[in-house]
């Protein structure tokens, strides 16, 4: 009887201690960390599993990184198969801890099978879903609403505060979309051709009336053969492209060859996967891309 009483007291103390702790949310992308933090403030402790310098398409968490999820009350993922390691992660989570996919209810944009070779990684080739839904503020707005509701369920006593912050963030994203529409209207419709190295801007192109035209040789991993280079040059000429947007570490020799053969302008690189080294916000990332596109393609 004494042992049972001691056990019950210990269990009550443990429950009280746990109740007094701030719930922990582990996210799998910086955008998600920003989203959760904006909604919940100090009511939640937020940790991002993805290191800043990691390639999001190649990231596979190590056992030590997995261990960071052991105290999580909730894990928030991007979804749309961006994180192929989710099943492995789920197997290592404490019982009852959910992996919530923020992008699951965002309407999907499929990768054109004709552009499969330009997919971000093998997982997203052959007509798969484009996982880069965050290049649409309207898609992010939908995700914010759903994540907000999930956080309300996690901390019911904060429902009112979370709902208010969710609404504020949704309004900001709607304004961000309206701002982008105004800026991009300066670009003639005939010039709304977004030439990039990857098929990563499907949601952006859908929202703002652009045609996505990926070409080979604009990434640091692509070393195009003479045949591929000639094909890219022919595509740029056929489509009457004036501007291309390379990656940060693109081959200088390849870009120089393309520029000489086509007289295109080489713009500043676009931020495709958004791992901000200097703590930029989502809005800052998106605005930087829009202004880069607008100033590069506008004839004003």
Q: Are residues 91 and 190 in the same domain?
A: no
Asked, for residue 5, whether it belongs to a domain, the answer is no
List the CATH number of the domain containing 195: 3.40.50.1980
Which stretch of DSSP H or E encloses residue 235? helix 226-238
Whether the CB-CB separation of 59 and 177 falls below 8 Å is answered with: no
Same domain as 149, residue 223:
no
Strands (E), 80-202: 98-101, 193-196
**Predicted TM-score (pTM) of this structure:** 0.86
Structural contact between residues 100 and 123, judged by C-beta atoms closer than 8 angstroms: no
Task: Give a yes or no: residue 99 inside a domain.
Answer: yes
Give a yes or no: residue 124 inside a domain.
Answer: no
Distance CA 89, CA 111 (A): 26
The Cα-based distances of 100 to 75, 90, 166, 254 in angstroms read 6, 11, 17, 42
All residues at 6 or more sequence positions from 125 whose CB lies less than 8 Å from its CB, including other chains: 111, 116, 117, 119
87 and 208 together in one domain:
no
Number of domains within the chain: 2
Decide if 117 is inside a domain.
Answer: no
- Clarify whether residues 26 and 95 are in a common domain: yes
Does one domain contain both 287 and 146?
no
Kindly state whether residue 1 falls inside one of the protein's structural domains: no
Instruction: Say yes or no: 161 and 292 in one domain.
Output: no
Question: Is the domain of 35 the same as that of 154?
Answer: yes
Q: Domain check: are 150 and 267 in the same one?
A: no
Question: What DSSP letter does each residue of 169-194 carry, written as one string?
Answer: HHHHHHHHHHHHHHHHTTS-GGG-EE
Indicate if 25 and 141 belong to the same structural domain.
Answer: yes
Flag whether 122 is in a domain: no
Assess if residue 39 is contained within a domain.
yes
* Residuewise pLDDT in 10s, the chain (300 residues): 334 444 443 344 434 334 558 999 999 999 999 999 999 999 999 999 998 778 888 889 998 888 889 999 999 999 998 998 999 999 989 899 999 999 999 999 877 656 544 544 555 455 578 899 999 999 999 999 999 999 999 999 999 999 999 999 999 999 999 999 999 999 999 999 998 877 789 899 999 999 988 876 566 555 667 777 788 888 888 888 899 888 766 666 778 888 888 888 989 988 888 776 677 899 999 999 999 999 999 875
174 and 157 both lie in a single domain: yes
Domain check: are 218 and 144 in the same one? Answer: no
Q: Which of 126, 159, 179 lies at the terminal end of a domain, its last residue? A: 179
| Residue-level pLDDT at 10 | 39
Q: Which domain holds residue 256?
A: 185-297
Q: Has residue 127 been placed in a domain? A: no
Question: Distance (Å, rounded) from C-alpha 244 to C-alpha 221?
Answer: 17
pLDDT at residue 156 in the model: 97
Residues 173 and 211 in one domain: no
């Amino acid at each position: 009887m004494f042992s049972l009483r001691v056990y019950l007291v210990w269990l009550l103390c443990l429950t009280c201690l746990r109740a007094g702790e701030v719930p922990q949310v582990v996210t799998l992308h910086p955008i998600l960390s920003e989203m959760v933090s904006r909604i919940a403030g100090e009511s939640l402790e937020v940790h991002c599993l993805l290191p800043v310098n990691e390639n999001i398409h190649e990231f596979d968490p190590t056992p030590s990184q997995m261990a960071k999820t052991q105290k999580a009350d909730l894990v928030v993922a991007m979804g749309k198969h961006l994180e192929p390691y989710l099943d492995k992660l789920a197997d290592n989570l404490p019982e009852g801890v959910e992996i919530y996919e923020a992008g699951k209810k965002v309407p999907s944009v499929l990768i054109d099978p004709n552009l499969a070779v330009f997919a971000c990684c093998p997982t997203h080739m052959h007509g798969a879903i484009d996982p880069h839904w965050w290049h649409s503020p309207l898609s992010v707005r939908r995700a914010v609403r759903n994540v907000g509701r999930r956080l309300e369920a996690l901390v019911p006593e904060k429902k009112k505060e979370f709902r208010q912050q969710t609404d504020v963030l949704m309004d900001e994203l709607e304004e961000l979309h309206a701002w982008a529409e105004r800026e991009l209207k300066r670009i003639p419709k005939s010039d709304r051709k977004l030439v990039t190295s990857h098929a990563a801007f499907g949601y952006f192109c859908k929202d703002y009336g652009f045609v996505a035209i990926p070409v080979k040789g604009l990434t640091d991993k692509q070393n195009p053969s003479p045949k591929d280079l000639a094909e890219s040059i022919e595509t740029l000429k056929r489509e009457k492209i004036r501007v291309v947007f390379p990656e940060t570490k693109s081959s200088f020799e390849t870009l120089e060859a393309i520029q000489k053969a086509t007289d295109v302008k080489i713009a500043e690189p676009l931020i495709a996967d958004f791992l901000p080294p200097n703590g930029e916000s989502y809005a800052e990332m998106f605005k930087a891309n829009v202004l880069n596109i607008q100033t590069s393609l506008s004839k004003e």
